[in-house]
Amino acid sequence: MTMKVKPMGPIPPGFHSEQGMLLIGGRGAAALVDETGETPLFAYDAGMIRARIAALREAMPRGVDLHYAMKANPFPPLLALMAGLVDGFDIASSGELSLALGAHVAGGRISFAGPGKQDRELEAAIAAGVAINLESEGEAARALAIGQRLGVRPRLAVRVNPDFELKGSGMRMGGGARPFGVDAGRAAALARHVIAQGALWRGWHIFAGSQSLDAEAIIAAQSQTVALAARLSEEVGASPPLVNLGGGFGVPYFPGDMPLDIGLIGTALGETLESRPAILAESRFALELGRYLVAEAGVYLTRVVDVKISHGERFAVVDGGLHHQLAASGNFGTVVRRNYPLAIANRFDGPICAEPLTVVGCLCTPLDRLGDSLALPPVEPGDLVAVFLAGAYGASASPSAFLGHAPAMELLVED
Ligand SMILES: Cc1ncc(COP(=O)(O)O)c(C=O)c1O
């Protein structure tokens, strides 16, 4: 029986091989595994991250700060790299705060967003001089009280739940009833209140969505964001030191996905900022990005344990799975399962086998499928499977305790 091949997403540009072996940061995948001693391994190419950020800065208008949303990848050596490459870090918990401070990011370069911040988290952040992106009036009251107790003026911004959404984004975070931020209609009143209470006013945080590959949609959202920030600032009667424009820049994961045109976005943002209302004349602007900066630089390497046939279908069973790389299994925010790009790392450009291959993880659940009916070279136990787009929402966003397997190794690869 001949099975039908299913397409997979594009392998990110910049990956190639030497004598059939996939190179990551100029080093062979098998050598990296030998170095760390084990599979599965997340390998992150530092040079690729540097190049990505340099290209982004080149495309964006001067004076737009770049913030790293470290939820995308909090691996400490990667954070230390990012600390020297971006202007600010966005954290979502006190655990992330500790990691950011551990990477020598000064508190003044950190902002803290996320609903459900606990008092002890607010306290640690305020004491460290972190800007709090307030998610509600209740959170504002707690932050002000904690500032008073600590004898410091808390640095406060208001996260706004905008009246619009980032169209076509993988995760919508504005435009309607949301747990994130304060509805635009009440944001100015809250800002006036925290300023009157003596807080250090930091400005607005407006995050409309994430994982968009539609430049026009991002351009429209950014222009609406600047207009909203200006309108709210007029209502408050104060210029915001910073307008965090959110992010939403996506990466191509799936068949047919095309890379985002950041040149187009940068040009349009430049025009939007040039014609901004006077109340924003002295404001700084920031983009808050996670996956766009790091996703494509990461590869998840997992070893084939078994190759088997069932009802004519070929399966490679690997020593990793959804417990490390949940997103590739289709169980992290996707409705329909589609294939991430995969390769056999040690036969990177080998001839394709006539029969498609399904790559499954070692977990005893049908959900643990890393690649479905792929056109790949022949495989045997011991081969290394590379799952691309593993630099964001991989190791830290997967249920690593599920079924008691060991966590994956991680490695930042410097050229
Ligand atoms: C407030 C906030 N900032 C940043 C991000 C990072 O998004 P991405 O990794 O898609 O850039 C998210 C994602 O949900 C978010 O909620």
Average pLDDT over residues 94-113: 98
Average pLDDT over residues 329-347: 93
Protein residue with least CA distance to atom 9, ligand 1: 290
Question: Residue 291: CB within 6 Å of ligand 1?
Answer: yes
Q: Write down the pLDDT at residue 171.
A: 67
Q: Quick one: pLDDT band at residue 172, thresholds 50, 70, 90?
A: low
The 3-state secondary structure of the chain reads CCCCCCCECCCCCCCCEECCEEEECCEEHHHHHHHHCCCCEEEEEHHHHHHHHHHHHHHCCCCEEEEEEHHHCCCHHHHHHHHCCCCEEEECCHHHHHHHHHCCCCHHHEEECCCCCCHHHHHHHHHCCCEEEECCHHHHHHHHHHHHHHCCCCEEEEEEECCCCCCCCCEECCCCCCCCCEEHHHHHHHHHHHHHCCCEEEEEECCCEECECCHHHHHHHHHHHHHHHHHHHHHHCCCCCEEECCCCECCCCCCCCCCCCHHHHHHHHHHHHHCCCHHHCCCEEEEEECHHHHHHHEEEEEEEEEEEEECCEEEEEECCCCCCCHHHHCCCCCCCCCECCEEEHHHCCCCCCCCCEEEECCCCCCCCEEEEEECCCCCCCCCEEEECCCCCCCHHHCCCCHHHCCCCEEEEECC
289 Cα: distance to centroid of ligand 1 (angstroms): 6
Q: Write down the pLDDT at residue 16.
A: 96
- Asked if the model's pLDDT at residue 167 lies above 90, the reply is no
Protein residue with least CA distance to atom 8, ligand 1: 290
395 Cα: distance to centroid of ligand 1 (angstroms): 16
Question: Residue 207: CB within 6 Å of ligand 1?
Answer: yes
113 Cα: distance to centroid of ligand 1 (angstroms): 10
The CATH class that applies to domain 17-45+295-413 reads mainly beta
Question: Residue 72: CB within 6 Å of ligand 1?
Answer: yes
Question: Residue 174: CB within 6 Å of ligand 1?
Answer: no
Q: Write down the pLDDT at residue 177.
A: 87
171 Cα: distance to centroid of ligand 1 (angstroms): 9
Q: Quick one: pLDDT band at residue 168, thresholds 50, 70, 90?
A: confident
**Ligand 1 test: best mutation among 53, 112, 207, most atoms within 8 Å of CB?**
207
**Ligand 1 test: best mutation among 112, 210, 287, most atoms within 8 Å of CB?**
210
**For ligand 1, what atom is nearest to the CA of residue 210?**
10
Q: Write down the pLDDT at residue 3.
A: 75
**382-397 pLDDT per residue, tens:** 999 999 999 999 999 9
Q: Write down the pLDDT at residue 173.
A: 66
Protein residue with least CA distance to atom 14, ligand 1: 210
Average pLDDT over residues 38-60: 98
What's the CATH code, domain 74-289? 3.20.20.10
**128-163 pLDDT per residue, tens:** 999 999 999 999 999 999 999 999 999 999 999 999
166 Cα: distance to centroid of ligand 1 (angstroms): 12
Q: Are 17-45+295-413 and 74-289 the same fold in CATH?
A: no
**For ligand 1, what atom is nearest to the CA of residue 133?**
1
**Ligand 1 test: best mutation among 117, 288, 334, 389, most atoms within 8 Å of CB?**
288
Q: Would you kindly state where each structural domain of the chain is located, as residue ranges? A: 17-45+295-413, 74-289
Q: Write down the pLDDT at residue 165.
A: 83
Question: Residue 171: CB within 6 Å of ligand 1?
Answer: yes
